[in-house]
Amino acid sequence: MSGLGPVLQSLREGAARGTGQATLLHGAVAVFHVDFKAQRVSCLGAGPPEERRLGQHLAAMAREVRLSESVDPNVNERVRDRRSQALSSLLWDAALDAGPEHRIAEIDADTVVRLRRWPGFHLLAHRHDHFRLCSLMLRRPSSARECVDMLGIDMEQTQAFAHAAYVAGCAELRPAEASSAHAAKVGWRHGGSRLADWWRSVREAQRAAS
């Protein structure tokens, strides 16, 4: 399969399945080895990008990226001493950088996002606004429009975050329920102090984990 969207979908399914291996190629050149059981990604070939940039490198390949289930029989020997990265990091960073045309799920201003769990702190990468989005979406399912209204975060940034959380398996998406979403937003406009309390607890958790 080829194209960033289909590749991200296949990687998401493989991560959830937890079995098998795959090779990611840029055109005809093998770039990454993916071990779904170990939940790790290793660079193939010379001159790999720095570790934190693997996801961005995948997103940059866009239409030329391909996924193959064919794996070099000697791949484990080849990657034994190479730097590897958690598959969740690759998924998160690639999905975050993917343009709207490459997203695997439609996320408009009214799509409701429910976080199933906290993304790892390594995924949030000290992005202040992403911690704020987590604190809100974990407490109550929220649409991008609500996040913009309540947190003052850019719409595109909020949608990109929702896509990254979905691809990494941290979030569920559902179409908006206009009446209930409106009622929830009205209630929260009168409860801003609660959001501040939750955000304070998030920062405390971040400090404790560092």
What phi, psi does 117 have (nearest 5°)?
-165, 165
What pTM was computed for the model? 0.80
Separation CA 101–CA 107 (nearest Å): 11
pLDDT of the residue at 186: 45
10-residue averages of pLDDT along the chain (210 residues) = 92 96 91 93 70 80 90 79 86 94 92 91 85 90 92 94 96 72 47 54 54
